[in-house]
């Protein structure tokens, strides 16, 4: 059964703190295994990738092929049923429009001392996209990861995806074609992350790696950050739904289950100020679970990590939600903006009764790759900026260095760096 809390109960503060601090990451200690995999791939390259693929994905790369050609992706896209293709194209169009608006502009100015300065934005040369091949093989994630990179101006976009038993997900390939992915490789796991970071004889290295994955993939990204850039170290999915009594309990139950069906470690939490409504949602969740093809996963998630929290007032929501810093926050209330104005920490917020989180997973436009595990306190969702970097520039003439150079000389001498001081002073003397 999910956790039931009431903010008016004497033990609420301690119980809510335990909920906030609870860990849902995989229990396995994967760090040592991942370190060994990374080291093996760095040393043995393609031979290591072939061995790991044989062991974990049960097919031989030399027989099935290392790379999925662009023509295969194009055929997958052409073969889609028309309604599904139109849906995928609508999603791609909206995602591209949203992320195009994110592109930063170069800046430049000349200040009163005559110093010209500014910043220029440029894309990384190559980006790697990890696409899971098991439970979470989602074409929507291909679009959400690849399209911002393309909008940023990345020259080379490389996708890695495991193909268990040699089988390929045609929807993933169709999305790759639509998003303009340049290379698709049949490898997965921590070994694929290592190959993208260090390169092998077949696969050239990239500069940034993005995309979801299991605990081994997440750990590999964490360990290789610095060798390459990464989007984030993501954990299990989560949603907080805030709902008053004027909602349909069936809608809210479906919203909670939309995250629960991702994984047994996902988390769905309801905040409401009405006990009768809370009970109605609990009953509706149980009824819907029995009809879900994903019941086994969703039921485990709801039972182990779900929570229904009844509050004296919805005014308590912002402070409590900020402590959770959820990946997704749904405000299904009469005046969602009033609550949103007081929320500081959330990956993405969905305003009103007609904005379910699931629409954001597909066609709304903003990115669905978001910080989990309370990381929304300090991190943001994937954006065009994850594929770009800013280079500052400074230009001085004789008058400008005469105006600010003496201060630089004084500071360099104070720091005990005489060569720094001499570098500036030489130009002042002339």
Which residues are known catalytic residues? Answer: 327-328
Q: Which two tokens stand for residue 152?
A: 């940023």
First CA to last CA distance, the chain: 80
Q: Which two tokens stand for residue 154?
A: 């990345």
DSSP 365: S
The answer to whether the beta carbons of residues 253 and 358 sit under 8 Å apart is no
Q: From CA 301, how far away is CA 24, in angstroms rounded?
A: 10
Q: Which two tokens stand for residue 391?
A: 């280079």
| Beta carbons within 10 angstroms of residue 288's beta carbon | 16
Q: Which two tokens stand for residue 279?
A: 């009970």
Give the contacts of 162 (CB within 8 A, at least 6 positions apart): 53, 56, 57, 132, 133, 134, 186, 187, 188, 189, 192
Rounded to whole angstroms, what are the CA distances from 249 to 12, 173, 229, 254, 303?
Answer: 24, 37, 43, 9, 18
Q: Where are the alpha helices (DSSP H) in 25-81?
A: 31-44, 46-57, 61-64, 70-78
Among 294, 269, 291, which Cα is nearest to 282's?
269
> Phi and psi at residue 268, in whole multiples of 5°?
-130, 125
Q: Which contiguous run of DSSP H or E holds residue 120?
A: strand 116-123
Put the strands of the sheet holding 348-351 in their side by side order: 3-6, 307-310, 267-272, 238-243, 328-332, 348-351
Q: From CA 269, how far away is CA 243, in angstroms rounded?
A: 11
The answer to whether the beta carbons of residues 243 and 270 sit under 8 Å apart is yes
The answer to whether the beta carbons of residues 88 and 225 sit under 8 Å apart is no
Q: Which two tokens stand for residue 333?
A: 């209330």
């Amino acid at each position: 059964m999910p956790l039931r809390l009431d903010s008016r109960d004497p033990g609420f503060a301690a119980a809510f703190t335990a909920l906030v601090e609870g860990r849902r990451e995989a229990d396995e200690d994967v760090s040592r295994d991942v370190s060994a995999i990374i080291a093996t791939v760095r040393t043995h390259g393609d031979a290591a990738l072939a061995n790991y693929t044989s062991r974990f994905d049960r097919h031989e790369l030399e027989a099935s092929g290392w790379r999925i050609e662009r023509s295969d992706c194009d055929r997958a896209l052409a073969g889609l049923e028309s309604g599904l293709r139109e849906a995928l194209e609508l999603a791609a169009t909206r995602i591209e429009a949203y992320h195009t608006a994110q592109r930063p502009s170069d800046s430049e100015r000349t200040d009163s001392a005559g110093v010209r300065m500014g910043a220029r934005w440029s894309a990384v040369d190559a980006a790697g996209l990890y696409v899971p091949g098991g439970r979470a093989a989602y074409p929507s994630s291909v679009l959400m990861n690849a399209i911002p990179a393309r909008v940023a101006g990345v020259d080379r976009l490389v996708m890695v995806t495991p193909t268990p038993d040699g089988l390929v997900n045609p929807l993933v390939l169709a999305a790759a074609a639509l998003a303009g992915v340049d290379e698709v490789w049949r490898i997965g796991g921590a070994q694929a992350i290592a190959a993208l970071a260090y390169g092998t004889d077949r696969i050239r290295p990239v500069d940034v790696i993005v995309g979801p994955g299991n605990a081994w993939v997440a750990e590999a990204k964490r360990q290789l950050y610095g060798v390459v850039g990464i989007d984030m170290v993501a954990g299990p999915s989560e949603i907080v739904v805030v709902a008053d009594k004027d909602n349909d309990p069936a809608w809210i139950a479906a919203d909670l289950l939309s995250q629960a069906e991702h994984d047994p470690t996902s988390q769905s939490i309801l905040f409401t100020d009405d006990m009768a409504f809370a009970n109605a949602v609990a009953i509706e969740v149980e009824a819907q679970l029995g009809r879900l093809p994903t019941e086994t996963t969703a039921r485990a998630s709801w039972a182990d990590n779900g929570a229904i929290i009844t509050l004296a007032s919805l005014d308590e929501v912002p402070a409590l939600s900020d402590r959770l810093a959820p990946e997704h926050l749904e405000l299904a209330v009469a005046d969602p903006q009033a609550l949103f104005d007081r929320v500081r920490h959330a990956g993405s917020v969905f305003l009103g009764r007609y904005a379910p989180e699931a629409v954001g997973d597909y066609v709304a436009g903003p990115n669905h790759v978001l910080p989990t595990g309370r990381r929304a306190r300090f991190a943001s969702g994937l954006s065009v900026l994850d594929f770009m970097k800013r280079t500052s520039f400074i230009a001085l003439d004789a008058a400008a260095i005469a105006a600010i150079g003496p201060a630089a000389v004084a500071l360099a001498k104070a720091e005990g760096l005489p060569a720094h001081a001499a570098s500036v002073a030489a130009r002042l003397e002339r």
